[in-house]
Amino acid sequence: MDNLTFTEIKQELINKTGVDFDIVSRQRPLPYIRAVYFKLCRELKPLASLQNIANSLKYNKNHATVIHGINKVFPEVMQYERDIFQIYNEVYCDLLQKNKSKKNIVISDVDLKNNILVF
């Protein structure tokens, strides 16, 4: 799953939201979208370090920014920002499917109760 690049993840999220979140601003919804980006990078590139994820943005934040986005901001997105959380789900599924097609692996079923993908 680690063969996706940060650029691919970033571009997919920009395409879905229509917002370039790679700027220095705290104006809503930019922090929420950045938190979604951090979460996607962490899940889709599990071997990438937190510092590498932070460096993938133009304004080069540090690893603490990524941790804060994943642990504090993303749960708020899940709870209060349903539209952005829906975008997260769509981008995650799209990128996962793109990545699986690169390896010729087919997902046959999704067990939502146990959060398991069946291949």
| Range scoring the smallest mean pLDDT among 4-8, 27-31, 63-67, 105-109 | 105-109
CA 77, CA 83: separation in Å to the nearest integer? 9
Helix pair angle (30-44, 82-103), 10° resolution: 30
Nearest-5° Cα angle at 13, 10 to 19:
100
d(CA 37, CA 74): 10
Residue 46's pLDDT is what? Answer: 92
H runs (alpha helix) in the chain: 6-17, 30-44, 50-55, 63-68, 74-80, 82-103
Model confidence pLDDT, tens digit, residues 71-101: 999 999 999 999 999 999 999 999 988 877 6
Residues above pLDDT 90, as percent of the chain: 67
Omega before 29 cis (within 30°)?
yes
- CATH dotted code for 6-118: 1.10.1750
**pTM recorded for the entire structure:** 0.82
